[in-house]
Amino acid sequence: MEILIERCAGLDLHKQTVVACAITPGPTGAPYKQTRTFGTLTDDLLALGDWLAALGVTHVAMESTGVLWKPVYNLLEERFTLLLVNARHVKQVPGRKTDVRDSEWLADLLRHGLLKPSFVPDRAQRELRELTRYRTSLVQERSAEVNRLQKTLDGANIKLAAVATDLLGVSARQMLDGLVAGSTDAAALAELARGRLREKLPHLERALTGQVGPHQRFLVARQLAHIDFLDEQIAQVSAEIAERLRPFEDVVDRLDAIPGIARRTAEVLLAEVGTDVARFPSAGHLASWAGLCPGHHASAGKEASGRTRQGNPWLRSALIEAAHAASRARGTYLQAQYRRLAGRRGVRKAAVAVAHSILVSVWHLLAHACAYVELGATYFQQRDHTRIERRLIRRLEQLGHTVHLAPAA
């Protein structure tokens, strides 16, 4: 096969060791392989970089194994052209797998240009990704803690969540603080309600009548304190994210105009995709990378399952959440699309389709620096006007009617 890269190397990464195989031209022009094992501490990785540089290596390939590639990538990205590849795409022949063979196999594939690198953003975007992903983990942890609080209250037969919409709202929080303080007067606790919740005072009094033991008061106090701590952490991380995205405030505002996307989701989109979508030739490429388009699986002329691939889980989950929010945005194109598909294909497939539409819109907004244009809830009816008429006429004729259409005045 044709040799595209003369001086290259493959790295087999592990927690404590890195096995490197470098391929360079020998004295006679034949490929010459050299293999060495390094540690994963900073000075070891710097020594690895010095060894590769001394051999004149220009390109280095490594597998995307968990987070083991990150320290190597951070230390070597300014010295070499690095290729991070999917381990599923470079499987070794079964029965011949060793660390040395794995590094040699990567180097051989790289030498002949047979590796397809994964998308790795620049350092600033990688740092922003870590912040948004950490915030997402904190939000998930907060939701889990709220569920544990609800479980503790149910064990004490306190049904506050059945009456109050928000278990951690202003009124509900004052009632929970009263329970923690030892109050057992349900009427007095119900009087702490504010606003429209006071219309439910009789129901509140019944819901707050229970048997709260000392251990349950202790648990509720700890859970409320944990939730307060998580709220503070989320606010601090959000402030840091907002500061880093301050130069791109206009981009955040354009994404925020899409139904279903709030500021937090827009920040996740910019952290995962970036502000420059030139690396994605089209919106379809971006949707495929995110795992929001049908897969291809055909054999013997028959189409098998077309389920979507995994893609970027952080981006995909944020877009699915945005799709469910867009399905409740009245009078919008995305809500019309969701309702149009949910009845025929189910709510889950409809959510994926709406998430795909949102991501396509995001690509166009970023690629062309334009504003979002709302097509309206009647877009599909106007586009398929003739087909809708034929379908409705056919259904009426099946019911025994003769239909004559005349345009309205």
Tell me the C-alpha distance between 174 and 192, whole Å: 7
pLDDT of residue 256: 94
CATH topology of domain 8-111: Nucleotidyltransferase; domain 5 (3.30.420)
pLDDT of residue 374: 92
Bridge partners (DSSP) of residue 32 are 24
- The amino acid occupying position 114 is L
pLDDT of residue 298: 66
pLDDT of residue 64: 86
> What ranges in 157-213 are assigned the alpha helix state H?
170-180, 186-190, 201-207
Record the pTM: 0.86
> What ranges in 282-346 are assigned the alpha helix state H?
283-290, 313-326, 333-345
Supply 6's token pair.
């003369």
pLDDT digit string, tens, across residues 45-86:
999 999 999 999 999 999 988 889 999 999 999 999 999 998
* More confidently predicted of 87 and 153: 153
Residue 192 has pLDDT above 80, yes or no: yes
Residue 403 has pLDDT above 90, yes or no: no
pLDDT digit string, tens, across residues 128-143:
999 999 999 999 999 9
Residue 305 has pLDDT above 70, yes or no: no
Q: pLDDT band for position 310 (50/70/90)?
A: confident
Residue 299 has pLDDT above 70, yes or no: no
pLDDT digit string, tens, across residues 237-266:
999 999 999 999 999 999 999 999 999 999
pLDDT of residue 306: 65
Buried b (16+ CB within 10 A) or exposed e, 190-216: bebbeeebeeeeeebbebbbbebeeeb
pLDDT of residue 94: 67
Mean pLDDT of 227-236: 97
Whole-number average pLDDT of the chain: 91
pLDDT of residue 130: 95
Mean pLDDT of 276-292: 91
Residue 1 has pLDDT above 80, yes or no: no
Supply 54's token pair.
């001394």
CA angle 74, 75, 78 (to 5 degrees): 90
Q: pLDDT band for position 95 (50/70/90)?
A: low
pLDDT of residue 304: 67
State how far Cα 57 lies from the chain centre: 35
Mean pLDDT of 32-40: 94
In the chain, pLDDT over 90 holds for what percent of residues?
Answer: 67
